[in-house]
Structure 1
Amino acid sequence: MDTRRILCGWVNLQTGDPTPPDILQRMFSAEGAEAPANPLRLGEAGWAATGREASAMAHDAETGIIAIVLGRPIWISAATAARASADGHAAAAARRYAEVGERLFDEMQGSFSLAICDLREGSTLLAIDRCGVERMCFARVGPLLVFSTSARAVAAHPAVKASLDQQSLYEYLYCHMVPSPGTAFRGVEKLLPAQRLLATAQQSRRDFYWAMRFAPDKQARSDAQRETFRRLLRQAVERQVDEAPVGAFLSGGTDSSTVTGLLGEVSGEPARTFSIGFDAEGFDELDYARVTARHFGADAREFYVTPEHVAEALPMIATSYDEPFGNASAVPTYFCARIAREHGIRAMLAGDGGDEFFGGNVRYAKQGVFERYQSLTPGLRQVLEPLVMNFPFGSAIMPVRKARSYIRQASVPLPDRLESYNFLHRDPLTDIFEPEFLAAVDTERPLAMMREAYFRAQSAEPVDRMMHLDHKITLADNDLRKVSRMCEAAGVDVRFPFLDTDLIDFSGTLSVDQKVSGNRLRVFFKEALSDFLPGETITKSKHGFGLPFGLWLAQDGPLRSPATSALESLGRRGIVRPDYLRRLWQEHSSGHASYFGVMIWVLIQLELWLQRNDRPVAA
């Protein structure tokens, strides 16, 4: 039961020829959806939205402003909040924009995608929320601005006529998704978190209306910080609980366990939780989920994903996303959300964001080891490097070999070092890609985009900068898209308490040592919740929500046939060299199933997506 939430629109920012009346239906049809029966058409503009939110679109006749809002905004102004409650978020946004203009974003929190057309000024404003929970894609074709929450819908507009973009296909294979601001379609872009676009007939201006503030409060008492944190955590969950039956994803990690405990407190009844297991060593974490469920007295449900479920989900995932999407954990996310829906749940709480704002990713600690080398004086490094790298027979001596590896990695600056183990760095690109495809792309652009996000952080601390980068790449471009789209496909809403604006602002007041100290992750977070979470949860090592696809693919089961068929088809497209695909399969079969299975999944999803989005590839 796919419950899509789609916003589509176009506006001619100066007088032009009439546009065919069926354009909105074409845009919605690109996502397999019906356009609403009541689209708004005023002159050379067409707007529509579909979703579960009431009053997602409004035209304020008094001010001449049109607004569409999807998501769950939170209004700081009591008067605006009251208007939103009475007339809908779109009506509230239209009126407040007429009153304060772009200062609207000082008062608008929560999750949202927003489009505002000011007929008096001849301008259109597009924006998304601070964390990138919602999306906004757009294309500018002369005076025409086309926009949607779907890149595929924008590409379907006849004035855009977007072909597939080779550069973005390369970036997909590098990042396992298409990172913003690019999309899979040439000429179509998407906004970054906290970004807005103001377009007029003459120009377009794009900027950030908010930036994460890193301002450690060195005078704060630890007990006061702990009290504030606990209060904000509870408030964040309260804001996401309403009359809809609400459940929670429960993996057994610190984030999902915290959400589970607070959901029970806020609702006054046992939290309804849903967990996924795998019959594969090293992947199943149901024991940790059970520890949390017992600790908080949750009403817990479990579901084991099998290879047959993965085979079922392969085409569904390729169809569901408007761009190629290669995060295999979309599969367990979908089945977890589907089971929740079958048990009457209409909204799920997810723990995404805790790692990126409180210091929970393992690489933060790991990179600190290499940063110590970067902190050495240039003179000392000039002495050490030749000594270690030129040591006689050093490759045969374990300590020297390790020292050489350390120096090689430490000599690469952040954020480039984070990609040291990227699949596209394992082999020469000429061995991976067809010559014509490789000649058409900028192979340095993925790292350039990462550097931009890393150095845009308003902090000189590597941990803060890595978290800022993960806010965009890991969270907005990847995890939030994974969870949101799979929950839509399963027929439930999803909400993210850890992305509450007040909670994020608080995280910026913590020092680096309160986030990561040596090998300790989430230092303050765990200390503040030490009497709330189970001890096993506090001490467990970090474990991702992975899928044992590679292990299952190595078996003679339901995945081999669709996998080999997809790889053979991809090898005929002029993107990836067939001999590389064969070698990848051989290495996967030679005892490294989990490792090489990741890239095989990414390639399979690309081929399946291309089959369902058949259009020319831009040269």
Structure 2
Amino acid sequence: MCGIAGFIDFSRRSGEEILRGMTDVLQHRGPNDAGYKTVEHPSCTIGLGHRRLSILDLSSSGHQPMEFGALTIIFNGEVYNYKEIRKELEQHGYTFSSGSDTEVLLKGYDLWQEKVVDKCIGMFAFAILDQAREELVLVRDRAGVKPLYYYWQNNTLLFASELKSFHQHPRFRKEIDVNSLSLFLQYSYIPAPYSIFKDTWKLKPGHLLRVSLKHGNPSLECYWSVLNAYSQPLVKDNEEEVLRKTEALLQSAYKYRMVSDVPVGVFLSGGYDSTSVAAILQAGTASRIKTFTIGYKEQQFDESAEAKKIAMHLGTDHHEWIVGPADALSVLHKLPEIYDEPFADNSTVPTTLVSLLASKEVKVALGGDGGDEIFAGYNKFNQSIGYTSRMPRAVQVMASAAMGLVNPEHIPYFNKKYNFATRFEKMKLIWHSGKPEMAMKYISQYVTESEADHYMGVPVERYKTNFDLNGNLTAVNGKLNRLLAVDYMTFLVDNNLVKMDRATMSVSIEGREPMLDHRLVEYLAKVPDALKTKNNINKYLLKTIVHKYVPRSIMERPKKPFIAPLTEWFKDELKSQMDHYLSADNLNSTGLINGANVQALLQRYQQGGKVSHQKLWNLLVFQLWYERWMKK
């Protein structure tokens, strides 16, 4: 796990000093080593920078940038099956001077070019400079576990693991994209390929960006798509066969993620996803797996006792930390540095704290992200299908039209209910569309597009995202599978994976996501809807497998979300923060937010109104981010 940064400057005014600045700001991603390389081409100057967190081959032979012939690579991530690929390369006559997966990837690229990624089981974001072909190629893994941003403007290409690198280049224009800001207010994250800045993009998962050293002209190419996986014919396996194959794939995926030359642990929240990781790994070894849990003093949010029961049953070496508001405050002002793009998932605080806890014992930590997306765990999937199927289509259309004639704030009794106006608007939009995938889009929004307009102080355009695939989903078998495909391409990659990558990297440990092994994803994509949710049981397959390792009596309980108790903290410890950052003066100073409308929302909340606290959290996070990155 590392951090990468670089540029192609067709004005040839960038040099090693700039490269060092772009690279060293990522030191938290790679504290063990640093490398820099600049190359002069007749048309441009190329810079490649690398910060290394040593996980495989701790020796200096794993130093990057790494060169072989006309190729130079900088690589962030892990190729877990690199030993198998190495054996295949050795049969082609290649020899190796290190035990690193980087050298395997580099020489694999020499033989197969970008097709080498088809052989890789892992997570990765890398840049390959090919001086023979006169091109630079940026590649991101299939799921998007590892981040990669790029900026293209004024004959300059910048790329890096995090946006903070771009601020170190004098030609980077940090101009906010107001359309992306609107998306952030809606979802609490910015969906790919957009970013908070203009001319700045996230390289989409399963894609590569090819840049000519002669002409520039960046071009995107897709080498893997989860939509393709979900569009394959469904398997004919019966339930027993599906369970057997799924468990075998889980065992293989989890075992691969234990490949390391440093200590490895598991984040154990107490849910089925992380429990499956801990249980299967502990069953396969005589040594005690280290597990880590965060708990809260506020009991309604705390699952630490349940996680401890699971750890005791499995026999893991368990570590827990019960945190309170003071711990949250210690993290709050670090969030804009850790998440250098506005990002307001309400579990950023506990994820950062559990990463800090784990960093005292291990250098690699496995999580359970992806389980809800590939095994169908979220209630929003049931809701999206239910809302669009319980009434005849004609009735939905009429109901939506009638709702458009009514102001929800004027409906007695209901207008006092929690977040009623927003929920009313969402149902109007859901019935108007009649499509489960559009229903999930609206369910996923904390504020609707019209509400975002209300809080914005400038006009915006509507960006299309992967929530708007519509016709591209026609080949996917089943309503539920269509929703899983969309969620994989939106909430998973741009929320959950961002959260985990930045939190773990902030304390210089490597987060691994074993449930996103592409072999498991591709197989489950072909499993019928009916086996994913069976007898009204979400995540039926995974639960059935986990019950082989942990008794049902321990696992089955009302689920508590892994989120910070913001509703409690906003009343006391965070109230002064809200009052300061969401003051009319601070809001209006950005020139982007309507201070009066946000102040009205804040006052309603503080006076006991049934207002969604997430709306205020999104705005607070943006203000914190703005102060850090736009005022300095």
| Cα separation, 2, equivalents of 1:396 and 1:324 | 37
Check if 1:411 corresponds to 2:432. yes
**Aligned residue number for residue 292 of structure 2:** 274
**Aligned residue number for residue 382 of structure 2:** 365
Partner secondary structure for residue 159 of structure 1:
coil
1:352-389 deviation per Cα after TM superposition (whole angstroms, max 9, x unaligned) = 01111111111111112123247x576x8789999999
**Aligned residue number for residue 572 of structure 1:** 589
**Which has the larger displacement, 233-242 or 576-585?**
576-585
Shift of 1:254: 0.4
Q: Give the counterpart letter for 2:53 in structure 1.
A: R
| Cα separation, 2, equivalents of 1:463 and 1:355 | 12
Partner secondary structure for residue 312 of structure 2:
helix
**Aligned residue number for residue 425 of structure 1:** 448
Check if 1:562 corresponds to 2:577. yes
| Cα separation, 2, equivalents of 1:50 and 1:302 | 30
1:329-349 deviation per Cα after TM superposition (whole angstroms, max 9, x unaligned) = 11111111212223x222211
| Cα separation, 2, equivalents of 1:397 and 1:137 | 48
**Aligned residue number for residue 417 of structure 2:** none
Check if 1:597 corresponds to 2:606. no
Check if 1:507 corresponds to 2:495. no
Partner secondary structure for residue 197 of structure 1:
strand
Is the contact made by 1:457 and 1:468 (CA closer than 8 Å) also made in structure 2? no
| CA 1:11–1:80: 2 relative to 1, 3 Å | farther
Equivalent position to 2:355, from 296, 317, 337: 337
Partner secondary structure for residue 301 of structure 1:
strand
Q: Give the counterpart letter for 2:476 in structure 1.
A: S
| CA 1:253–1:311: 2 relative to 1, 3 Å | same
Shift of 1:248: 1.4
Equivalent position to 2:566, from 535, 542, 549: 549
**Aligned residue number for residue 372 of structure 2:** 355
| CA 1:573–1:300: 2 relative to 1, 3 Å | same
Partner secondary structure for residue 140 of structure 1:
strand
Is the contact made by 1:136 and 1:147 (CA closer than 8 Å) also made in structure 2? yes
Is the contact made by 1:368 and 1:518 (CA closer than 8 Å) also made in structure 2? no
| Cα separation, 2, equivalents of 1:103 and 1:454 | 29
| CA 1:316–1:377: 2 relative to 1, 3 Å | closer
Sequence identity (%): 21
Shift of 1:313: 0.6
| Cα separation, 2, equivalents of 1:429 and 1:599 | 10
Check if 1:6 corresponds to 2:24. no
| Cα separation, 1, equivalents of 2:621 and 2:402 | 47
Q: Unpaired segments of 5 or more residues in structure 2? A: 406-410, 415-419
Partner secondary structure for residue 92 of structure 1:
helix
| Cα separation, 1, equivalents of 2:176 and 2:224 | 32
| Cα separation, 1, equivalents of 2:324 and 2:111 | 55
Shift of 1:304: 1.4
Check if 1:40 corresponds to 2:37. yes
Partner secondary structure for residue 22 of structure 1:
helix
Shift of 1:178: 2.1
Q: Give the counterpart letter for 1:415 in structure 2.
A: E
**Aligned residue number for residue 607 of structure 1:** 623
Is the contact made by 1:365 and 1:517 (CA closer than 8 Å) also made in structure 2? no
**Aligned residue number for residue 338 of structure 2:** 320
**Which has the larger displacement, 535-544 or 515-524?**
535-544
Shift of 1:209: 0.4
**Aligned residue number for residue 254 of structure 2:** 237
Is the contact made by 1:252 and 1:288 (CA closer than 8 Å) also made in structure 2? yes
Is the contact made by 2:145 and 2:493 (CA closer than 8 Å) also made in structure 1? yes
| Cα separation, 2, equivalents of 1:372 and 1:118 | 53
* TM-score normalised by structure 2 residue count: 0.85
Equivalent position to 2:72, from 59, 66, 69: 66
Shift of 1:49: 0.5
Check if 1:310 corresponds to 2:310. no
Check if 1:223 corresponds to 2:224. no
| Cα separation, 2, equivalents of 1:431 and 1:423 | 14
Equivalent position to 2:480, from 452, 463, 469: 463
CA-atom RMSD, angstroms?
3.3
* TM-score normalised by structure 1 residue count: 0.86
Shift of 1:81: 7.4
Q: Unpaired segments of 5 or more residues in structure 1? A: none
Q: Give the counterpart letter for 1:508 in structure 2.
A: A
Is the contact made by 1:293 and 1:299 (CA closer than 8 Å) also made in structure 2? yes
Equivalent position to 2:98, from 61, 70, 86: 86
Partner secondary structure for residue 582 of structure 2:
helix
Q: Give the counterpart letter for 1:103 in structure 2.
A: K
Corresponding residue pairs, total: 592
1:269-292 deviation per Cα after TM superposition (whole angstroms, max 9, x unaligned) = 233221122222431122321331
Shift of 1:143: 4.8
